[in-house]
């Protein structure tokens, strides 16, 4: 039988099921009646003919010179390069590539060290299956905690980290170490004088130790909320309504002091705490508005009386001075005359008496004998 092998092909000559040799470009004749057959494939990529083990094919020099065989040991990751460029991740333990038209290489990286080192670039990681490694991203103000097989290993600062999932099962926790605000809105309080009011409370806190926190706290906000509520009720319940309104800042300091005493329970540091708003019932608010209005009205009346007294005292002092000093009295009359003249449009002067004397008579300044 006639076989034509092209330039990019190779043929595997088999006789009675036994590999004889590999043939390349050319025309060949083999008699089927003698038990010969030829399997032909292209010399590109991975060897597709798997009917004969590699160890038998490798006994043929032509085959050995035309291929490259690579085995990936346990505990290693393989990266396949074609003509010096990264192509893919090696999923198999063993590869045979045609090495005639393209040059194939496999770079081996040990996975014995769980931490993926700098020898593995981001480009190489892009071809690795996602279940083969774990990526940990720690942002600014956060702390990462790494576990191998549920056993804590170390803390991580800001950055991106990669870990092989070969020797260990890798898990992690990200803890936000930035300060946070906890608002309690509309907290109902019963004062010592049995008045029901509502308060808005705000407190600032931050986690102080990431390892201690993840080992002892599951729902931080869910635990802090009732703790702050209890502290507020404990402190404000000792005061009457008027005292709460008057001593708001002092009560806020007392609430903060109580929370500082209890911060070990939650692995946090309280930075501040206090009362933002006090919301009174409608009828209490109306009463207090009436009281405030009455107070302000009384204050206005006191101020008005004080001004009247001051004005009267000033007039009395002026009168005494004018009574004691006739010249001052005359100057005061002239001052009032000047004010009168400012409001007069025309002044008519009759007779031979001078204008000053006539104006004086109008004001009663000059005597009738002048």
pLDDT in tens, 350-363: 655 555 565 556 55
Residues 156-189: pLDDT tens digits? 999 999 999 999 999 999 999 999 999 988 888 8
**Contact, 206 vs 271, CB < 8 A?**
yes
Architecture of domain 180-280: 2-Layer Sandwich (3.30)
> Among 44-58, 61-75, 88-102, 170-184, where is mean pLDDT lowest?
44-58
Q: What is the DSSP string of 53-118?
A: -HHHHTTSHHHHHHEEEEE--TTEEEEEEETTEEEEEE-SSEEEEE-SSS-EEEEEEE-SSSB--T
DSSP string, 132-174: GEEEEEE-TTEEEEEEETTEEEEEE-SEEEEEESSSS-EEEEE
Q: Is the pTM of this model over 0.85?
A: no
DSSP structural state of residue 33: G
Complete DSSP assignment for 212-278: HHHHH-S-HHHHHHHHHHHHHHHHHTTS-HHHHHHSHHHHHHHHHHHHHHTGGGTTEEEEEEEEEEE
Pairing verdict, β 9-15 and 18-23: antiparallel
Q: Which two tokens stand for residue 365?
A: 């300044």
Instruction: Please compute the mean of the pLDDT values over residues 189-207 and round it to a whole number.
Output: 88
Residue 290 CB-density burial (10 A; 0-12 exposed, 13-18 middle, 19+ buried): exposed
Domain boundaries, the chain: 2-108, 125-176, 180-280, 326-370
Q: For residue 343, what pLDDT is reported?
A: 65
User: Residues 28-45: what's their mean pLDDT?
Assistant: 89
CB-neighbour burial class of residue 37 (10 A; exposed 0-12, middle 13-18, buried 19+)? middle
What's CA 172's distance to the chain center, in Å?
A: 20
Residue 349 has a pLDDT of 55
Q: What is the mean pLDDT of residues 253-278?
A: 91
- Report how far residue 266's alpha carbon sits from residue 256's, in angstroms, rounded to the nearest whole number: 15
For the chain, what percent of residues have pLDDT higher than 90? 44
What lies within 8 Å, CB to CB, of 93 at 6+ separation is 71, 72
């Amino acid at each position: 039988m006639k076989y034509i092998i092209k330039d990019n092909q190779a043929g595997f000559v088999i006789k009675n099921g036994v590999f004889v040799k590999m043939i390349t470009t050319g025309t060949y004749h083999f008699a089927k009646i003698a038990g010969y057959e030829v399997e032909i494939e292209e010399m590109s990529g991975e060897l597709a003919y798997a009917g004969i083990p590699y160890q038998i094919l490798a006994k043929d020099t032509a085959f050995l010179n035309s291929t490259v065989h690579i085995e990936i040991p346990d505990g290693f990751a393989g990266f396949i390069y074609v003509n010096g460029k990264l192509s893919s991740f090696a999923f198999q333990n063993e590869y045979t590539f045609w090495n005639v038209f393209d040059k194939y290489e496999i770079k081996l990286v040990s996975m014995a060290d769980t931490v993926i080192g700098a020898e593995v670039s981001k480009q190489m990681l892009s071809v690795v299956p996602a279940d083969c490694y774990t990526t940990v991203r720690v942002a600014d103000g956060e702390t990462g905690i790494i576990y191998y097989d549920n056993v804590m290993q170390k803390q991580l600062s800001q950055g991106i980290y990669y870990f092989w999932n070969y020797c260990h099962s890798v898990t992690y926790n990200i803890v936000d170490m930035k300060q946070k605000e906890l608002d309690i809105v509309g907290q109902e309080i019963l004062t010592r004088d049995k008045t029901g009011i509502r308060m808005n409370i705000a407190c600032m806190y931050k986690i102080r130790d990431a390892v201690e926190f993840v080992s002892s706290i599951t729902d931080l906000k869910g635990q802090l909320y009732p703790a702050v509520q209890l502290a507020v009720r404990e402190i404000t319940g000792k005061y009457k309504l008027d005292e709460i309104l008057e001593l708001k800042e002092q009560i806020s300091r007392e609430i903060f002091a109580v929370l500082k005493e209890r911060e070990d329970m939650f692995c946090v540091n309280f930075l501040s705490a206090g009362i933002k708003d006090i919301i009174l019932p409608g009828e209490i608010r109306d009463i207090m508005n009436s009281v405030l209005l009455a107070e302000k009205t009384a204050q206005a009346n006191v101020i008005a009386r004080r001004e009247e007294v001051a004005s009267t005292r000033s007039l009395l002092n002026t009168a005494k001075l004018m009574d004691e000093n006739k010249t001052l009295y005359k100057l005061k009359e002239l001052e009032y005359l000047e004010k009168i003249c400012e409001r007069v449009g025309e002044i008519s002067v009759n007779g031979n008496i001078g204008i000053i004397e006539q104006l004086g008579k109008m004001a009663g300044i000059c005597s009738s004998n002048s």
